[in-house]
Amino acid sequence: MAPVSMTYLGIPGYAIFWFLTALALSLFCYRIYRLVRHLSLGRKEERFGQKGRRALSTLVTLLVHWDQFKYFTPKDRAGITHAIFPLGFLAFAIFYLVFVIISAGFGFSGTLEATVFFYYYTWIIDLITPVVIIAALWGIVRRYIAKPPRLKGEQSIEALVILLTVIIIPATYIFKIATDIALGQPPVGLGTALPPISTALSNLFSDISTGSVQAANTALFWGNWAVVLFALVFIAYSRFLHIIASLFNIFFRSPLPRGTLRSIDLEAAESFGAASITDLTWKQMLDLYACVSCGKCQDTCPATASGKPLNPKNLIQDLKKHLLEVGPKLLKAGGKTVAADDSPTLILPGGVISRDEIWACTTCRACDDICPVYVEHIDKIIDLRRNLVMEQASIPEPAEAALRSIEARGHPWRGSTASRTDWAKGLDIKTLAENSDMDTLLWVGCTGALEERSIRVTRSVAGILKLAGVDFGILGSQESCCGEPARRLGNEYLFQMQAERNIKTLNDYGIKKIVTACPHGYNTLKNEYPGFGGRFEVIHHSQLIARLIQEGRLKITSSTGGVITYHDPCYLGRYNDIFKPPRQILKSLPGVKLVEMEASGRRSLCCGGGGGRMWQEETIGSRISEMRIEQAIKTGAGTIATACPFCLQMFDDAIKARGYEESLKAMDIAELVARAITPEV
């Protein structure tokens, strides 16, 4: 579509053009106004800082769209089309705003058409148009013919309408330009350098009378603009609101370190967690508008894959449906909620979202990581848990026992009789109480100090550090649970109590550098403690061991060799991007052949132990850990290596449950290294 011209408008045309445009814009703006008012029902949340950085980041995301490709596989090419759509939307939105609205409305038609910007932009639109059309056609084929599992139930009329508009708008645009060229009236400023696609299409009109081409030209202009206005209104009133909302959602994405949970001001809070929709923050509500309903999150969710009731896509869509249902009533009520049966709101945990859904989440972050528009699923689930635990006193019994144990004994392992330092017998390791002049603190963690299988890992780590000459010590009995299980299970009060206690201990000793073998402790100390005044250099044992080998401080003298597959712990990989060091370690072992499971790296399947699931019974669906072990068996590996005590324990149990004790064993990378450098460790 060329800029607006008197040839196909005239005075009556201008009146019709602006009447339709004003009507569509009014309907669009009214709907957006109502939706924004819904956001005002949510709690306040600071997301307005660093506007310049946010704007640049949003632009880069739209142009590059890397997030659509980081999970790309030859079997799933949907990321390509979903990367094309926002580019096409952005390109055409700018074109219509600048060269139609401004050009027609403010009398800049001739001036704008003669600019260099218009020249290049016309070429860009010309080249983008067929790509967008092909992508939309492929989208129709995938959604209505191929029907992949994650698009089950997504074959709606709404989806078909929007895909058809994505085809019609660029198609009528490019044929409009083609008829302009056929009439000898190419857009001003292009001269003889005409855009290739529309020029080629203009040949279709070479044997048609001038009057017919002129009629087609006028019809294409009005048809194009009518569909543009229809799409504008349709987007605002349909679930394809995400086309607009996602732009703002990307802009307002969390400034916190990846996966860090939002804290509660325990002293100022009137309630805890999310009991009703108004307990969500405005940004959490914006997430609901932005959801593309593409199903990528459900494809990567271990709870969904194992037959549990949680489906992250459905969770977001259910919350959105609820918000749109109760939002108008809440606005009329001034945003107030009451406990009466006729309340315009429903309780979220146990009502809109079932308890089984809420407790099924492993907080593996696969859903957050793959979402192309940065919807944050986990923070909503944690807020629902917070309400269940801190307001309703409702929590699965085994998980409740773990929390009681943390509060009473400083660790979640009920019934454990070992002390925090029993694991170190015979290793001559000093506590900081004995000698505080240490370069590095070894944060052992509850599982590493008290759980029998993980104690062997801790002894291996300590032996490696001693052999490499690392000057380190431990807190011993002064070390207490980092609080991670409490926070992920929804007891924010207990987490903050543990965090403040540990930070005081660490600061009292002047600790600067910490190494730990637990990814959950690593993430908590590194990313969440700074919010409470605890700022330390935190290193995972895989990073340190890889560096010690690279520096020549550890000499690999032997190895049992064999085929090994590596499992990426969620809190090490997706949460903290630590993928290479463990693999570098395994590749340094003589005779080892490293093979990857089908789901590895960012796609790694959770072991099932995160999010407090370590202390819950897995009674619904399949065991996630056993699903992962089956993937390991398919590689032909004799060892599944990992770098997390939770994963190690889950895999040991799964191997026994599946009867694979003779063919597969689970080991931490520290155990493999310790065996390769000194057999007696």
Domain boundaries, the chain: 10-39+71-237, 277-390, 410-548, 552-677
What does the pLDDT average to over 264-279? 91
Query: Is there a contact between 487 and 455 (Cβ–Cβ < 8 Å)?
Result: no
Q: What is the distance between the alpha carbons of residues 587 and 601, in angstroms, rounded to a whole number?
A: 16
Classify residue 596 as exposed, middle or buried by CB count within 10 Å of its CB (0-12, 13-18, 19+).
Answer: middle
Contacts of 569 (CB under 8 A, 6+ apart): 519, 604, 607, 642, 643, 644, 646, 647
Which CATH number among 3.40.50, 3.30.1360, 1.10.3470, 1.10.10 corresponds to the domain 410-548? Answer: 3.40.50
Q: Which strands make up the sheet holding 665-668, listed edge to edge?
A: 592-595, 562-566, 639-642, 665-668
Residue 418's pLDDT is 64
Residue 547's pLDDT is 96
Fold category of 552-677 in CATH: Rossmann fold (3.40.50)
What does the pLDDT average to over 658-665? 95
Query: Is there a contact between 511 and 536 (Cβ–Cβ < 8 Å)?
Result: yes
Query: Is there a contact between 107 and 123 (Cβ–Cβ < 8 Å)?
Result: no
Dihedral-angle region of residue 469 (phi above 0 means left; psi in -120 to 50 means alpha; beta otherwise): left
Q: What is the distance between the alpha carbons of residues 466 and 468, in angstroms, rounded to a whole number?
A: 5
Q: What is the distance between the alpha carbons of residues 190 and 362, in angstroms, rounded to a whole number?
A: 57
pLDDT tens by residue, 531-544 = 999 999 999 999 99
Contacts of 641 (CB under 8 A, 6+ apart): 564, 565, 566, 567, 582, 586, 666, 667, 668, 669, 672
Same topology between domain 277-390 and domain 410-548: no
What does the pLDDT average to over 308-337? 89
Residue 56's pLDDT is 85
Query: Is there a contact between 598 and 579 (Cβ–Cβ < 8 Å)?
Result: no
Which CATH number among 3.40.50.2300, 1.10.1060.10, 2.40.50.140, 3.40.1010.10 corresponds to the domain 277-390? Answer: 1.10.1060.10
Q: Which residues pair with 103 in a beta bridge?
A: none
Residue 95's pLDDT is 81
What does the pLDDT average to over 416-440? 87
Query: Is there a contact between 176 and 221 (Cβ–Cβ < 8 Å)?
Result: yes
Classify residue 289 as exposed, middle or buried by CB count within 10 Å of its CB (0-12, 13-18, 19+).
Answer: buried
Short-list 58, 78, 65, CA closest to 136 = 78
- Give pTM, 2 decimals: 0.88
Query: Is there a contact between 519 and 572 (Cβ–Cβ < 8 Å)?
Result: yes
Among 242-251, 498-507, 521-530, the minimum mean pLDDT is found in 242-251
The mean pLDDT of the chain is: 88
- Of the pLDDT bands very low, low, confident and very high (cuts 50, 70, 90), residue 419 is confident
**How crowded is the C-beta side of 215, counted as CA atoms within 13 Å?**
5
Cα angle, residue 404 at apex, residues 402 and 406 outer, rounded to 5°: 70
Q: Which has more confidence, 77 or 424?
A: 424
DSSP-assigned letter for residue 241: G
Residue 342's pLDDT is 44
Residue 512 in this model has a pLDDT that exceeds 90: yes
Residue 662 in this model has a pLDDT that exceeds 80: yes
Residue 567 in this model has a pLDDT that exceeds 70: yes
What does the pLDDT average to over 586-591? 93
Q: What is the distance between the alpha carbons of residues 545 and 548, in angstroms, rounded to a whole number?
A: 5
pLDDT tens by residue, 227-252 = 999 999 999 998 888 888 988 998 99
